[in-house]
């Protein structure tokens, strides 16, 4: 059993032992940590339960030693807990993994705080808000959407809008990063997906937000792709169509910056597709208002004017620009050392602070990149 990763783990562990034995425990910590992290990766890359277990035991041993060195636990406890370490196959482990991968939250983004995005908002209303508030309207052939794909350039509000939906309706919100799921739990992620959807059915109405869905849904059959990866995809495809009776209100919202990486099978499951792109001038105006709320501005600030100057900016660029501009007066005072005096108040941010901010914060998406999204939209988008 040898691979670059395994060799690296071995080398780190050897180094850690050497330092530890030589009385340099503090210096050993980072080598233990690296070794443990590499073993964790190896666990995901092997399908052999014995090897998984072996890696797991070793990783636990290193982690416990690190805790011991850091004085978090007593040395006597280490012995006990290390021999009682559970196998990674155990269900408890899966439950723990679910909790770590899935963020259950009641997001604090209000529907009114979403500027523009009219098309996307409408699609999500039809898919989620209306069926949940008026289930009587969605009977028979009039079924709510089960899978929605939000695609478009980074920073244009996919995650943000999804949060607003979740805070709008009384539903359980599961938020999963697909990339995270794959990198941390590849061997286990098939079970995780199943468990996740079982829970979502139990606690329906539920919204499952799958971010970076492309990392999970990429074109199938590539040679580099392992068996485990293929199984997760198959599992997810079934899950989106619905386990359970199919009557539960359960919607999967997938988000991606690279829709072209999604294969045909996956595309089909996400029947409703929503293009989330750069904000219009009206939306930008409202974004400036939203992202400066609660701070008094100088009278020369005009949101209308700022919206005109920021063609090509994404929502995230504008949010960042606002933070930067609001920070300027504070930064000035701080540079003078004046903030120590609690009676000194910063001046109100003015138009100049925004203009200066625009010199360093530029549109993060290029027209060329945008073209690629538009092309995909014309072929596959809804």
Ligand X SMILES: Nc1ncnc2c1ncn2[C@@H]1O[C@H](COP(=O)(O)OP(=O)(O)OP(=O)(O)O)[C@@H](O)[C@H]1O
Cα separation of 176 and 197, whole Å? 12
Q: 31 or 209, CB closer to Mg ion? A: 209
Binding site for ligand X (CB under 6 A): 114-117, 154-160, 257, 276, 287, 290, 315-316, 319
Beta carbon of residue 319, minimum distance to Mg ion (angstroms, whole number): 13
Q: From the CB of 192, what's the least distance to Mg ion, in Å?
A: 20
Closest of 324, 280, 278 to residue 157, by C-alpha: 278
Q: Spell out the residues 6+ positions from residue 31 whose beta carbon is closer than 8 angstroms to its own.
A: 12, 13, 15, 16, 19
- Taking the least distance from each CB to Mg ion, the nearer of 307 and 315 is 315
* Residue range at the interface with Mg ion (CB under 5 A); choices 142-150, 153-161, 326-334, 341-349: 153-161
Residue 316's binding partner out of ligand X, Mg ion, none, with CB under 5 to 8 Å set by partner kind: ligand X
The 8-class DSSP code of residue 3 comes to -
Partner from Mg ion, ligand X, none contacting 164, C-beta within 5 to 8 A by type: none
Neighbours of 281 (CB within 10 A): 12
Q: How far is CA 94 from each of CA 56, 87, 97, 181, rounded to the nearest angstrom? A: 14, 11, 5, 12
Please provide residue 130's backbone torsions phi and psi, each rounded to the nearest 5 degrees. Answer: -65, -50
Beta bridge partners of 362: none
> Shortest Cβ distance from residue 102 to ligand X (Å)?
17
Interface with Mg ion, residue 215, by CB under 5 A: no
CB of 325 to Mg ion, least distance (A): 24
Yes or no: say if 98 and 192 are a contact pair by the CB < 8 Å rule. yes
Q: Can you state the angle between helices 4-21 and 25-45, rounded to 10 degrees?
A: 160
In the list 159, 215, 256, 277, the residue contacting Mg ion (rule: CB under 5 A) is 159
Choose from ligand X, Mg ion, none: what does 96 bind? Cβ within 5-8 Å by kind. none
Interaction between residue 171 and Mg ion (CB under 5 A) = no
- DSSP letters of 299-334? TT--HHHHHHHTTT--HHHHHHHHHHHHHHHHHHHH
Closest to ligand X by CB, 154 or 382: 154
277 binds Mg ion (CB under 5 A): no
Q: How far is the CB of 257 from ligand X (least distance, A)?
A: 5
Our CB check for Mg ion shows the closer of 302 and 364 to be 364
Q: Which is nearer to ligand X, 80 or 293 (CB)?
A: 293
For residues 267 and 147, give the distance between their C-alpha atoms in angstroms, rounded to a whole number: 9
d(CA 229, CA 226): 5
Instruction: Name the minimum Å distance from CB 275 to Mg ion.
Output: 15
Identify what 117 binds: ligand X, Mg ion, none; CB under 5 to 8 Å per kind.
Answer: ligand X
Size of the site for Mg ion (CB under 5 A): 2
Interaxial angle between packed helices 178-185 and 227-241, expressed in degrees from 0 to 180 and rounded to the nearest 10? 140
Nearest approach, Cβ of 107 to Mg ion (angstroms)? 12
**Of 125-133, 158-166, 333-341, 363-371, which part binds Mg ion (CB under 5 A)?**
158-166
Output the CA torsion 334→320→305→117 (10° steps).
Answer: -160
Pairing outcome for strands 147-151 and 250-256: parallel
The helix/strand/coil state of 91 is helix
Q: Which does 239 bind (CB under 5 to 8 A by kind): ligand X, Mg ion, none?
A: none
Q: How far apart are CA 319 and CA 342, in angstroms?
A: 28
Task: Find the shortest distance in angstroms from Cβ 368 to Mg ion.
Answer: 21
The DSSP output letter for 280 is P
Residue 40 or 256: the one with the smaller Cβ distance to Mg ion is: 256
Judged by CB under 5 A, the stretch of 154-162, 237-245, 302-310, 322-330 that binds Mg ion is 154-162
Footprint on this chain of Mg ion (rule: CB under 5 A)? 158-159
């Amino acid at each position: 059993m040898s691979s670059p990763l395994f060799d690296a783990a071995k080398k780190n562990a050897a180094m850690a032992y050497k330092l530890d034995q030589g009385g340099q425990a503090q210096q050993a910590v980072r080598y233990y940590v690296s070794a443990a992290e590499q073993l964790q990766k190896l666990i995901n890359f092997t399908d052999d339960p014995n090897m998984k277990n072996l890696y797991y035991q070793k990783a636990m041993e290193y982690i416990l030693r690190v805790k011991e060195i850091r004085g978090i636990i007593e040395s006597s406890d280490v012995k006990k807990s290390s021999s009682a370490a559970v196998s990674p196959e155990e269900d408890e482990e899966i439950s723990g993994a679910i909790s770590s991968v899935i963020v259950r939250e009641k997001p604090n983004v209000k529907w009114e705080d979403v500027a523009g995005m009219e098309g996307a908002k409408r699609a999500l209303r039809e898919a989620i808000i209306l069926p949940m508030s008026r289930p009587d309207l969605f009977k028979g052939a009039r079924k709510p959407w089960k899978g929605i794909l939000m695609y478009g350039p980074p920073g244009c509000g996919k995650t943000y809008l999804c949060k607003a939906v979740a805070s709008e309706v009384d539903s359980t919100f599961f938020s999963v990063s697909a990339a995270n799921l794959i990198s941390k739990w590849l061997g286990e992620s098939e079970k995780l997906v199943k468990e996740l959807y079982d829970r979502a059915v139990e606690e329906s109405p539920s919204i499952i937000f799958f971010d970076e869905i492309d990392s999970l849904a990429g074109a199938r059959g590539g040679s580099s792709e392992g068996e485990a990866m293929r199984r997760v995809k198959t599992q997810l495809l079934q899950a989106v169509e619905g386990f359970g009776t199919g009557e539960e209100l359960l919607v999967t919202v997938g988000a991606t910056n690279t829709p072209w990486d999604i294969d045909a099978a996956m595309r089909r499951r996400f029947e409703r597709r929503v293009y989330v792109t750069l904000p219009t001038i009206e939306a930008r105006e409202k974004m400036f208002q939203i992202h400066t709320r609660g701070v008094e501005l100088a009278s020369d600030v005009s949101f209308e004017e700022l919206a005109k100057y920021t063609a090509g900016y994404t929502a995230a660029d504008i949010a960042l620009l606002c933070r930067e501009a609001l920070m300027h007066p504070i930064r000035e005072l701080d540079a003078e050392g004046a903030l120590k005096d609690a009676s000194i108040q910063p001046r109100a941010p003015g138009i100049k602070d925004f203009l200066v901010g625009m010199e360093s914060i530029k549109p993060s998406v290029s027209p060329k990149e945008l073209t690629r999204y538009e092309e995909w939209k014309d072929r596959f988008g809804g």
